[in-house]
Each structure stands twice: as structure tokens, then as C-alpha cells.
């Protein structure tokens, strides 16, 4: 084989430019969907016409990228779930304590909603919640942590389905509240975690230690999290310093 034959042909600039335009249009459409799927923007009655108006594109442009509105919502859902799982695993995959993993996962979802209200708003919409419930990867991670905690005597509950629904439901309502900016975030997240896991009969001191581990880990990881606000509203000063749960 000659040297000329072994060299990959140069990328056609027109092909590269077209690919960039397609990627930008896809992001434009998804961004419009993200804006529309926020609290107060409709109650499950949104249609494709809403998206094309928000994105200022034609119906034909939408259908070049998505077969339906559900397809666009699912793509956003898959992306957000993948991001959440990657961040969770980066922080907790090497942590052997299942209670720390369970507390950390629930806390992370709420902290992100405070720092990234668009993410929080979208993930609280019923459409995404339904998708989230079908996402077996997340479901298995939550179940594994809770079952391991029960097996190790850190929690006591009869039904794993009840335990999973309790954690997931708590984080959904927590994200809604945090998106509304109606609470002091650190105190609210700490008490939500404390009360929920006490309901699963975890030891309060163990919950406090798990929560403290989470806060220290998230502050350490903050510079690497693209959604973390380093200053201003939602920054570290508004979340508080990593000092564990309140004792009141």
C-alpha cells in the first residue's frame, strides 16, 4: 500500500460547516424545549407549534431533527440523566458506604436545581418525571444504595419500591421548592435529607455524617461542575459552608 493511500482524506470544509450548522440548529431547538418545559409554561399541553415559535424556525426544520415533541423531550432527558449520573459516579463510585451514596445522590439533585434553575425546572415537569421513572440506570443506582444500606443495618424498611419512591419524590418536590427561591437552600436541603432518611429509620448521627461528607465533596468538585455558580446568587456563600446538619 502506498503512503498516499494510507493518509485519510481531508475533511471537506463545506461538510464540516454543514455539520456545525446542524449541531447549532439541534441545540437551538432543544434550548427552546428547555425554556418551554419550565414551571408555569403549560401543564402538559405544549405542542410542536410552541417550539417552532420559540425557536423561530419552520415546522420542516423541526422535523429534520425530531419525529415528535416527545423525541426532543426524551433527548433532553437522556442528556440530563447522563450528566447527573456521570457527576454522581465521579463523586461517589469509590465510596463504600451506601448511606453516603444515597444521601449524596439526593442532595446533589437538589443542589443542582438551586445552581441551575432551568435544569431544575425541566426535571420537575411531569413529562420528564415520567421519563426519569423509566430510566433504569438511575433506578438501579438508587435501589442498589438503599438495599445495601438495609443489608448493612443502616436503614429499615419493608418495600424497596416504597423507599425508592420516597427518595425520588422528595428530590422532585425539593427541586421545585429550590427553583422558586423561596427557602434558604443549605438549611432546606439538610432538613429534607434528615427527615426523609429518618423516615427510613437511618440513625440521625449517621445521616449527619453522610450529609457532611456530601457537602465537603461537592465544594471540592465545584470548580469542575459547569453548572456551579461560583459567585452571586447560588454561589457558595448562599449554600453555606460544609459544617454538617443542624441539631435543632
Segment 90-141, tens digit of pLDDT: 999 899 999 999 999 999 999 999 999 989 888 877 555 665 555 556 667 7
Residue linked to cell 461528607: 213
Q: Check if 12-66 and 70-239 are the same fold.
A: no
| Domain 12-66: CATH superfamily, name plus number | Homeodomain-like (1.10.10.60)
pLDDT at 230 over 80: no
pLDDT in tens, 144-174: 999 999 999 999 999 999 998 899 889 989 9
Q: What is the mean pLDDT of residues 3-18?
A: 64
pLDDT in tens, 181-207: 889 999 999 999 999 999 999 999 999
Count Cα atoms within 13 angstroms, Cβ side, for 15. Answer: 4
Q: What is the mean pLDDT of residues 9-34?
A: 82
Q: Which fold has domain 70-239?
A: Tetracycline Repressor; domain 2 (1.10.357)
pLDDT of residue 239: 63
Residue 50 C-alpha cell reads as: 410552541
What's the predicted TM-score (pTM) here? 0.80
Q: What is the pLDDT confidence band of residue 248, given thresholds at 50, 70 and 90? A: very low
Count Cα atoms within 13 angstroms, Cβ side, for 167. Answer: 28
pLDDT at 246 over 60: no
What does each C-alpha distance from 186 to 81, 109, 183, 204, 232 come to in angstroms? 23, 13, 9, 17, 15
Higher per-residue confidence, 210 vs 19: 210
pLDDT in tens, 72-95: 988 888 888 888 888 999 999 899
For 129, residues 6+ apart whose C-beta sits below 8 A from its C-beta are 123, 172
SS3 39: coil
Q: How far is CA 166 from the centre of its chain?
A: 17
Q: How far is CA 59 from the centre of its chain?
A: 30
Give the alpha-carbon dihedral of 140, 120, 201, 194, to 10 degrees: 150
Under 8 Å between Cβ of 111 and 117: no
To 5 degrees, how large is the angle CA 173–CA 109–CA 88? 155
Instruction: Please report, for the chain, the start and end positions of each structural domain, with discontinuous segments joined by +.
Output: 12-66, 70-239
Query: How far, in Å, CA of 224 to CA of 48, rounded?
Result: 35
Amino acid at each position: 500500500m502506498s503512503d498516499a493511500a494510507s493518509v485519510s482524506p481531508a475533511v471537506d470544509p463545506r461538510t464540516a460547516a454543514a455539520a456545525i450548522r446542524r449541531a447549532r440548529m439541534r441545540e437551538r431547538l432543544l434550548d427552546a424545549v428547555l425554556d418551554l418545559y419550565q414551571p408555569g409554561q403549560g401543564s402538559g399541553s405544549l405542542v410542536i407549534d410552541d417550539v417552532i415559535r420559540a425557536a423561530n424556525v419552520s415546522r420542516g426544520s423541526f422535523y429534520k431533527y425530531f419525529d415528535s415533541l416527545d423525541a426532543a423531550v426524551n433527548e433532553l432527558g437522556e442528556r440530563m440523566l447522563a450528566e447527573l449520573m456521570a457527576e454522581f459516579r465521579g463523586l461517589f463510585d469509590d465510596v463504600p458506604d451506601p448511606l453516603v451514596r444515597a444521601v449524596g445522590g439526593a442532595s446533589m439533585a437538589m443542589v443542582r436545581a438551586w445552581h441551575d434553575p432551568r435544569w431544575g425546572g425541566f426535571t420537575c415537569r411531569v413529562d420528564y418525571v415520567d421519563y426519569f421513572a423509566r430510566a433504569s440506570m438511575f433506578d438501579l443506582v438508587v435501589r442498589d444504595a438503599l438495599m445495601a444500606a438495609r443489608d448493612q443495618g443502616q436503614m429499615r424498611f419493608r418495600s424497596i419500591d416504597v423507599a425508592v419512591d420516597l427518595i425520588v419524590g422528595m428530590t422532585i418536590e425539593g427541586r421545585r421548592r429550590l427553583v422558586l427561591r423561596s427557602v434558604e437552600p443549605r438549611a432546606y436541603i439538610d432538613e429534607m435529607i434528615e427527615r426523609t432518611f429518618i423516615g427510613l429509620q437511618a440513625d440521625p448521627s449517621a445521616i449527619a455524617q453522610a450529609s457532611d461528607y456530601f457537602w465537603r465533596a461537592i465544594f471540592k468538585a465545584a470548580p469542575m461542575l459547569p453548572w456551579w455558580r461560583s459567585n452571586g446568587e447560588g454561589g457558595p456563600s448562599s449554600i453555606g459552608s460544609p459544617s454538617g446538619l443542624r441539631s435543632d
